[in-house]
Amino acid sequence: MITPTFKVDQDNDSITIVINTPYVRAQDVDLHVEGSEFRFYLRPYFLRLHLPGNILEDDDSKAVYDPSAGQFTIRVTKETKGEHFPDLDLLTKLLARTGETSIQSNQPKKPLIEVVGGSTEENTLGETEIQDAIDFNWELPQEVSATPELSVTAQYGFNNQYHGYFTHVQETMNEINEISEPEKSTPESRRAERIESENNHFDEDHYCMDYINNDEINDLIKYKTVFSKELKRLQKNAKSAEFSSKEDAVMRDLPNKEYLLSYEKSTYLGLVDLMFAYCYNYRVTEGDNNVESVWCIGRISPTISSLDVKCFKFINDVLD
């Protein structure tokens, strides 16, 4: 587990804890308040604080996540309103385990077990570990890293301008991303890893059975999408496409942005990849999206699942 960076402030009635947790699923957070202890868990982050006074969780308590800053702001109420909590700026003191500040390192510890045999050295080590665990209420030590948690080396995404979003991909649930170490990858390595994964997962028997038990597939091929119907209507009336008033309103609300594309061709080719994935999902669901639609589009699109965009130089690269 990673101990996140944090800061603690107070007012007359409450304690405010700001915790830095970038690139997480905020809905999975687990908070625990009991006495003077505060615990925060959101994989891969864990934070345990022992405050100078008691706190409680009531109707005035709240937790807010700011995705743009990657921060949780958590407010908990003081049990005794108006009480001043000293030393909130001493973060290592707040991170200390139960009893860690009260036990002197040079104070002899009384053995908790009687030695009946075996190596003296081994038994002494066991006594020390058990005593430490009891003294600190079986809590593991915490230490906030002095170095930045993110090691940015890779660039990916739209116009190859994003990084850091997959730093803890191994610790969090991710059913779409196929790259083992995205933050240490290159465009070439991502493409090679994607192709290798596709070759390993290709099942010849499954492929052959699709030609035998193909009733459902044929029905999907015959399905007429709303787009094809609209195209035929326009072709029949020899008219150019016209936006409805609702579509005009949507177009007006689009932001007016200009982009300086460093990889213009590969960016446009990446749109073909995304459109193909969208159209495939639209056809197999017959225009009625379901709970798996996002996963389906993400898995089919190399742009999303393998961050494979920069290597697109020709349309055949997209279809491979």
| Per-residue tens of pLDDT for the chain, all 320 residues | 788 888 999 999 999 999 998 878 788 889 999 888 999 998 888 899 989 999 998 888 999 998 888 899 999 999 998 899 988 888 888 888 766 654 444 454 445 555 555 555 545 545 666 666 566 555 666 666 554 444 446 888 888 888 888 876 666 657 788 888 888 888 888 888 888 888 898 888 888 888 888 888 888 888 888 888 888 887 887 666 677 778 778 877 777 677 777 778 888 888 888 999 999 999 999 988 888 999 999 999 888 888 887 677 777 777 76
The letter for the amino acid at 186 is T
Angstrom distance (rounded) from CA 55 to CA 11: 13
Q: 237-289: per-residue pLDDT in tens? A: 766 667 777 877 887 777 767 777 777 888 888 888 899 999 999 999 998 88
Residues 71, 77, 79, 84, CA torsion sign:
positive
Which pTM value belongs to this model? Answer: 0.51
Residue 71: beta bridge partners?
Answer: 20, 66
pLDDT at 283: 92
Angstrom distance (rounded) from CA 90 to CA 106: 23
pLDDT at 150: 46
- Please provide the DSSP assignment of 200-260 as one string: HH--HHHHHHHHHS-HHHHHHHH---HHHHHHHHHHHHT------HHHHHHHHHS------
Structure tokens at 145: 């890293």
pLDDT at 102: 45
Angstrom distance (rounded) from CA 281 to CA 181: 28
**5-to-46, 165, 175, 198 alpha-carbon distances in Å:** 10, 18, 28, 39
**51-to-97, 254, 274 alpha-carbon distances in Å:** 11, 48, 50
